[in-house]
Amino acid sequence: MALTLGIDSSTQSTKALLVDADSGEVVEARTASHPAGTEVDPRAWLSAVDEATDGLLDRADAMAVAGQQHGMVALDASGTPVRDALLWNDTRSAGAAVELIEEMGGPQACADAIGSVLVASFTSTKLRWLRDHEPDHAAAVATVLLPHDYVSWHLAAEGTDPFTDRGDASGTGYFDARHDAWRHDLLEQALGHAAQTPRIVAPGTVAAHTASGTPIGGGTGDNMGAALGMALEPGDVLVSVGTSGVASAVSSVPVADGTGVVTGFADASGGYLPMVTTMNAAGILDLQARWLGVDHDGLADLALQSAPGAGGVTLLPYYGGERTPNRPDAVGTWTGLTPATTRADLARAAYESLLCSLADAVDRLVAATGETPRRVLMVGGATKSAALRELAPAVLGCPVVLPPPGEYVALGAARQAAWALAGTATPPAWPAAETTVLEADPTPHVREAYGDLRERTTTWTD
Ligand SMILES: Nc1ncnc2c1ncn2[C@@H]1O[C@H](COP(=O)(O)OP(=O)(O)O)[C@@H](O)[C@H]1O
Ligand SMILES: O=C(CO)[C@@H](O)[C@H](O)COP(=O)(O)O
Q: Quick check: is 311 in a domain?
A: yes
Q: What integer pLDDT is reported at residue 461 of this predicted model?
A: 43
The radius of gyration of the chain's CA atoms, rounded to the nearest angstrom, is 21
Q: Is 90 a catalytic residue?
A: no
The model's pTM is: 0.96
* Cα separation, 254 vs 257, whole angstroms: 10
Helix-helix angle 282-292:343-369, to 10 degrees = 170
* Cα separation, 119 vs 122, whole angstroms: 6
The verdict on 355 and 383 lying in the same domain is yes
Q: What integer pLDDT is reported at residue 335 of this predicted model?
A: 98
How close is the Cα of 276 to the center of ligand 2, in Å? Answer: 10
**Largest Cα–Cα separation, the chain:** 66
Closest CA to 71 of 188, 149, 185, 175: 149
* Ligand found nearest the CA of 15: 1
Atom of ligand 2 nearest to the CA of 323: 1
* Cα separation, 49 vs 346, whole angstroms: 37
Q: What integer pLDDT is reported at residue 459 of this predicted model?
A: 63
The verdict on 268 and 353 lying in the same domain is yes
Instruction: Name residue 182's beta-bridge partners.
Output: 175
The verdict on 259 and 202 lying in the same domain is no
How close is the Cα of 340 to the center of ligand 2, in Å? Answer: 38
Determine which one of 149, 165, 222, 345 is catalytic.
222
Q: Say which residues have a Cβ less than 8 Å from residue 268's Cβ, sequence separation at least 6.
A: 165, 166, 167, 203, 218, 220, 221, 224, 225, 227, 228, 412, 416
CA triplet 434, 270, 324: central angle to 5 degrees?
75
The verdict on 42 and 150 lying in the same domain is yes
With a 6 Å cutoff on the Cβ, whether 10 touches ligand 1 is: yes
Q: What integer pLDDT is reported at residue 178 of this predicted model?
A: 96
Number of domains present in the structure of the chain: 2
List the residue whose alpha carbon is closest to atom 23 of ligand 1. Answer: 12
Q: What integer pLDDT is reported at residue 462 of this predicted model?
A: 41
CA triplet 127, 138, 319: central angle to 5 degrees?
40
For residue 242, the enclosing domain spans: 231-402+432-462
Of 156, 191, 222, the one marking the end of a domain is: 222
pLDDT tens string, the chain, 462 residues long: the values are 899 999 999 999 999 999 999 999 999 999 999 999 999 999 999 999 999 999 999 999 999 999 999 999 999 999 999 999 999 999 999 999 999 999 999 999 999 999 999 999 999 999 999 999 999 999 999 999 999 999 999 999 999 999 999 999 999 999 999 999 999 999 999 999 999 999 999 999 999 999 999 999 999 999 999 999 999 999 999 999 999 999 999 999 999 999 999 999 999 999 999 999 999 999 999 999 999 999 999 999 999 999 999 999 999 999 999 999 999 999 999 999 999 999 999 999 999 999 999 999 999 999 988 888 999 999 999 999 999 999 999 999 999 999 999 999 999 999 999 999 999 999 999 998 899 999 999 999 999 999 999 999 986 544
With a 6 Å cutoff on the Cβ, whether 11 touches ligand 1 is: yes
With a 6 Å cutoff on the Cβ, whether 386 touches ligand 1 is: no
CATH number at residue 201: 3.30.420.40
The verdict on 62 and 117 lying in the same domain is yes
The verdict on 398 and 270 lying in the same domain is yes
* Cα separation, 361 vs 365, whole angstroms: 6
The verdict on 198 and 236 lying in the same domain is no
* Cα separation, 7 vs 152, whole angstroms: 10
The verdict on 106 and 198 lying in the same domain is yes
Of 188, 222, 256, the one marking the end of a domain is: 222
